[in-house]
Amino acid sequence: MKKSGWLFAGIGVLLAAFAAIIRALAFFPKPRQIEDVFNWPDAPLLPSNRPFKVMTFNVQYMAGKNYIFYYDGGNDNRPSSEDIGKTIAEVARIIQDEAPDVLLLQEVDEGSKRTDYEDQAARLLELMPGNRYNYASTFYWKVKYVPISQINGRIGMKLLTLSKYRIETAVRHQLTQYPPYYFWQHFMPKRAILETRLPVTDGSTFTALNAHLELFSFGTDVQQAQIRKVEELLAEQGEGEWVFGGDFNLLPPTASAAELSEFEQGIYGETAVLRSLYNKYQAVPSLQNIQQADPSKWYTHFPNGEGETRPNKTIDYLLLSNTTHIQNSYVRQHDTWHISDHLPLIAEIQVNNQ
């Protein structure tokens, strides 16, 4: 065999080895896949005759606020076991106090080295024994070994949707992924939307969609592509009632990144991506909320960064079908700054068929 033949054969062997390693370590979800649902045997249907409360909360894998992690520009790689325990207890306290009927959680770890390989959803539910939540979840970061020094081990991170009422089905929808490089993309989060359907006592269905959208786009159109997928899924709901919420990692359409740090401006400089959704649907916070004299009460993000002393922007949202009546909405700020780098966003709603 000629030298060039040996060279190509060697390259082929290396590529095959890399592919085998990736296949063994990484997570390969389908574009659309059914997820398991847990319902209590006597779980009631969502009643058609009263308002209910929806909450979204990125719990930052229960890490607390005592760290500046490597992805925030700091030197910390993981929280202590003690801080994880305290934070889960505080998340349970907020949930029990707010008592949401539907709860959308992001960044819930399961099987991660950084959080002691624990199932955080199970531990959270154990801390709320009187709250018989039904639930569904899906991984959006699942790798047996991430070969970077800050992780150096297994990662498992989920979207978790809890409901006081029966969940009929749960479906995971894969989103466009960054980065667009075959090798590394399989070690990074594979962001998704978790769609859960709740049967209503009048025979209709209420849909809750939970997501954590891309943070780092680095000049690509990945954020726009993910929003296009969101629009597609919401259009599929037709005349049905729904809520779509989570951590969008995007500033509101009328916001400015000028007041953010230079580090954050590089991440959140794009402010127009959400405009199409705001133009089509109801949003919490609304443009009126954001443009009021003091928009800070709608800030949902308190970054773990050098010199950051308070929440400084809105990047978490609840979108609602246009026939839904929003009775009240707010960000719970007064006792949550110490829990996560995000604050819980709540809406009390009543759908048109109730």
Domains of the chain, by residue range, sit at 31-350
Residue 228 tokens, joined: 């296009």
DSSP-derived pairing of the beta strands 205-212 and 241-247: parallel
The CATH number assigned to the domain with range 31-350 reads 3.60.10.10
- For the stretch 122-146, pLDDT in tens is 999 999 988 899 999 999 999 999 9
At 314 the pLDDT is: 96
Does 15 score more than 60 pLDDT?
no
At 259 the pLDDT is: 78
pTM of the model: 0.93
DSSP 8-class letter at 296: G
Across the chain, what does the average pLDDT equal?
90
- For the stretch 160-199, pLDDT in tens is 999 999 999 999 999 998 766 667 788 899 999 999 999 9
CA separation for the pair 348, 34 (Å, rounded)? 29
Does 34 score more than 80 pLDDT?
yes
Residue 345 tokens, joined: 């966003």
Q: Which residues of 199-220 are buried (b: 16+ CB within 10 A; e: fewer)?
A: bbeeebebbbbbbbbbbebeee
Q: What is the mean pLDDT of residues 81-110?
A: 98
Residue 324 tokens, joined: 């839904």
CA separation for the pair 37, 35 (Å, rounded)? 7
Tell me which of 277 and 73 has the higher pLDDT. Answer: 277
Report how far apart, in Å, the C-alpha atoms of 237 and of each of 32, 198, 240, 307 are: 16, 13, 5, 43
Does 337 score more than 50 pLDDT?
yes
